Amino acid sequence: MAGYLVGIDVGGTFTDFVSYDPNTRAVDVWKNLTTPKDPNEGIVTGLGHVKDPSGIGNMRLGTTIATNAILERKGAIVAYITTEGFRDVPFIQRGNRRSHYDITWVKPKPLVKRRHCFEVRERIMSNGEVQTPLDPETVRAAAKAIKADGSIEAVAVNLLFSYVSPEHEREVKKILEQELPGVPVSLSYDVLPKWKEYERASTTLADAYVKPLVVRYSKTLKSRLKDKGITDHVVLIKSNGGEMTLDAAANAPIQMTVSGPTGGVIAAKHIAKLCNVSHLVTLDMGGTSTDCATVINGRENFTTDFEIEFGVPIQIPMIDIRTIGAGGGSMAWIDKGGMLRVGPQSAGASPGPACYMMGGTEATVTDANVTLGRINPGNFLGGAMKLDAAAARKAVETVGKKLGRSAEETALAMVRIANNNMVGALRSVLIERGLDPRDFALLAFGGAGPLHINDLMDDAGIPSGIVPNYPGQFSAFGFIMTDARVDTMRTVQMTSKRFDQARATEVLQSLVASGLEDLKAQGYTKNIEVHRSVELRYLGQNYELEVPIPFDRFDATTTPKVWEAFHQLHQARFGFNIPREIIEVITIKATVVSLTEKPAFKTIGKGAGAKPLNKRPVTFTSGTVETPVYDRGALKEGDAITGPAVIEEPASVTVLNPGRKLKVDAYGNLLIGKLAGE
């Protein structure tokens, strides 16, 4: 009998669990409180919900432990080793300010003290030539100082031009391992083999900074799970949406910086396949923030431009998820000139919106939705939490008085402004990348996403919408479908004028080989998929476009196709190209994926027409109308609803505007708009 799959997403307030039993094909979802003091506690007690934990064959975990350690500056004391003359790079940074007229701005501090920075004698030039060989005595001197300090828990090494030639960094590591046994060492080449020394320094420092913590965490987790009888496959989710073993995570912890939110995107890939939709844009709206990402032709988009906070880049490959500070808890306020604004300040989970009755008095987006009748105060979180509609209205009214508008008008305006903030996030992943919203379907999840899906389809010009099953635990749901994934890349710097096809081919093939090796070391050998690409730009530009390459060697036939594809992509992305210009090849990339077995979900059976539970007044832009209320659990395949309507389920509410059509598919997904035959 195959063991079942469990996906766990450790969030700020709740830890979400989803399990799938391959024998019965049954899915179960539940929640447990997150336990920040001992992050493993909430996981282990949550697993108590499972009758026989030893029957878990595969457990996948998304966690913010690395991110939180950086944001709260609770990581290790680290040392930084770099090329002679450059120890101040982490302090100088790039010199620009977060906001250009803000005289109060304080520059971010790096994750290392200046007195813990050491220089070693060596120099590699931009073409890889060794100008000054590494002087091992300088490394030993640094090791001695680190030992003498006594407080250092991890070391980050970042030498100039290591992305061209990692030899010196590797030598440094060898010496440090001799001199400082047991102290983890992060090499910039392993963490981020890419140019720009500050960005690489920041990323490598972050890796070293969280390493001791993650090592401890995965060790404890392993033993706590073992006590429960779970010894099989336990993995963590990386920022690129792939999974990695606990040992691999302890070795490269920076890979899990943005772990949790990737689950939503992985699950979105599944929904795209299930619903046969080629272009999906996701909207994960929670209490304090909203995440957006895209899935195009079954593929998610990746980025290496991430900053964990302004001026602190962490540039590992990760799923490109844009986050904005707008959610159900976003508070309304009136600025000094009388303009209504919503967020980015949030009431969070505590004190929470006014309607939570937990001490919050400010009007939030959730309060606006209660005032508009969109949220049923008696059926929030499946009735587990009672909301105070009068408190919501009172808070909204207080704002309204300052605007000279009624509670309904104010609530509508609040929702409109919050929606516009989210449209900005949708624009940033669609229009700003040259993608046309009309080609997309909007997949809304998170507790609040389905509430806003219909308005957002209208405001962003997206013709279709989908509300998936388990919108409140969607990330954890995604984790039962992850693959193992390793991204590899190398900076090469060649041009189309002098392109060394043999060398490029060799690099490409060695990247694939090293990716395969990495997977094999973690035990993944089956169902391998390889994706290859190059990053190109016009000679003189500084930012690259990634061109996928559907072959494994560069030759007289394939190479010209790469150049042509770049010109076309430049035209599509930026509205122009320069046909005869020299093209620069910056990075060659290969991604190796080991596909895992995916759940086969059950269909829900055909329905005989949706019947509303009851009716209640709900306010839309067009006015307040008696609106039918449906129970999502009772809907079956083929059931069709025309708005106005609200569809309630334990973790969320879907609002259907007047005239909009909705249809239920075979798996229970709610299809809206064009997908519902509009």
Per CB under 8 A, residues contacting another protein are: 84-89, 91-97, 99-107, 113-115, 125-126, 131, 160-161, 163, 195-199, 335-341, 403-404, 413, 416-417, 420-421, 424, 427-428, 431-432, 493, 538-543, 570, 574-576, 578, 581
Q: Smallest distance from the beta carbon of 361 to another protein, in angstroms?
A: 23
Is the CA virtual torsion 619, 622, 623, 626 positive or negative?
negative
**Residue ranges of the alpha helices (H) in 464-557?**
474-479, 501-521
Strands (DSSP E) found in 357-431: none
Please, how many CA atoms are within 13 Å of residue 306, restricted to the half-sphere of its CB?
A: 25
- Which of residues 270 and 570 has its CB atom nearest to another protein in the complex? 570
- Which of residues 37 and 100 has its CB atom nearest to another protein in the complex? 100
- Which of residues 337 and 609 has its CB atom nearest to another protein in the complex? 337
Q: Smallest distance from the beta carbon of 126 to another protein, in angstroms?
A: 4
Strands (DSSP E) found in 136-209: 154-158, 185-187
Q: Smallest distance from the beta carbon of 582 to another protein, in angstroms?
A: 8
Q: Smallest distance from the beta carbon of 241 to another protein, in angstroms?
A: 24
- Which of residues 226 and 401 has its CB atom nearest to another protein in the complex? 401
461 vs 423: CA distance, rounded Å: 10
Q: Smallest distance from the beta carbon of 317 to another protein, in angstroms?
A: 18
- CB pairs under 8 A, 24+ apart, for 220-226? 220/40, 221/40, 221/43, 221/61, 221/246, 222/246, 224/40, 224/43, 224/44, 225/44, 225/59
Q: Is the Cβ–Cβ distance between 630 and 618 less than 8 Å?
A: no
Helix (H, G, I), strand (E, B) or coil at 100: coil
Q: Smallest distance from the beta carbon of 257 to another protein, in angstroms?
A: 22
Which residues partner with 103 through β-bridges? Answer: none
Q: Is the Cβ–Cβ distance between 160 and 173 less than 8 Å?
A: no
For residue 86 the two structure tokens come to: 């450059």
For residue 611 the two structure tokens come to: 């019947």
**SS3 for 74-85, per residue?**
CCCCEEEEEECC
Q: Smallest distance from the beta carbon of 638 to another protein, in angstroms?
A: 35
Report residue 189 CA to chain centroid gap.
23
Provide the pairing of β-strand 4-10 with 130-132: unpaired
532 vs 191: CA distance, rounded Å: 20
- Which of residues 181 and 404 has its CB atom nearest to another protein in the complex? 404
The single-letter code of the amino acid at 311 is G
- Which of residues 244 and 314 has its CB atom nearest to another protein in the complex? 314
Q: Distance of CA 502 to CAs 110, 166, 352, 508, 566, Å? A: 41, 21, 61, 10, 20
Q: Smallest distance from the beta carbon of 542 to another protein, in angstroms?
A: 4
Q: Smallest distance from the beta carbon of 483 to another protein, in angstroms?
A: 30
159 vs 201: CA distance, rounded Å: 9
- Which of residues 224 and 573 has its CB atom nearest to another protein in the complex? 573
Q: Smallest distance from the beta carbon of 515 to another protein, in angstroms?
A: 25
Instruction: DSSP for 4-29, please give it.
Output: EEEEEEE-SSEEEEEEEETTTTEEEE
Q: Is the Cβ–Cβ distance between 211 and 489 less than 8 Å?
A: no
Q: Smallest distance from the beta carbon of 561 to another protein, in angstroms?
A: 22
Would you say how long the chain is, in residues? Answer: 678
CB count within 10 Å of CB 19 equals: 22
628 vs 645: CA distance, rounded Å: 5
500 vs 489: CA distance, rounded Å: 17
- Which of residues 113 and 394 has its CB atom nearest to another protein in the complex? 113
547 vs 559: CA distance, rounded Å: 12
For residue 677 the two structure tokens come to: 């035959």
- Which of residues 94 and 526 has its CB atom nearest to another protein in the complex? 94
Q: CA-based angle 410:414:419, to the nearest 5?
A: 150
- Which of residues 126 and 278 has its CB atom nearest to another protein in the complex? 126
Q: Smallest distance from the beta carbon of 249 to another protein, in angstroms?
A: 29
- Which of residues 54 and 126 has its CB atom nearest to another protein in the complex? 126
- Which of residues 113 and 224 has its CB atom nearest to another protein in the complex? 113
Q: Smallest distance from the beta carbon of 527 to another protein, in angstroms?
A: 36
**Residue ranges of the alpha helices (H) in 550-667?**
558-574
Place of tokens 């009755």: 357
Q: Smallest distance from the beta carbon of 124 to another protein, in angstroms?
A: 10
Q: Is the Cβ–Cβ distance between 293 and 301 less than 8 Å?
A: yes
- Which of residues 113 and 661 has its CB atom nearest to another protein in the complex? 113
State which H helix or E strand residue 466 sits in: strand 464-467
Q: Smallest distance from the beta carbon of 405 to another protein, in angstroms?
A: 9
Which residues partner with 78 through β-bridges? Answer: 154
Q: Smallest distance from the beta carbon of 132 to another protein, in angstroms?
A: 11
State which H helix or E strand residue 291 sits in: strand 290-296
- Which of residues 84 and 167 has its CB atom nearest to another protein in the complex? 84
- Which of residues 169 and 648 has its CB atom nearest to another protein in the complex? 169
For residue 286 the two structure tokens come to: 């929670």
Closest CA to 483 of 596, 562, 584, 568: 596
- Which of residues 388 and 439 has its CB atom nearest to another protein in the complex? 439
- Which of residues 160 and 225 has its CB atom nearest to another protein in the complex? 160
Place of tokens 């080991």: 594
For residue 94 the two structure tokens come to: 């790039």
Q: Smallest distance from the beta carbon of 114 to another protein, in angstroms?
A: 4
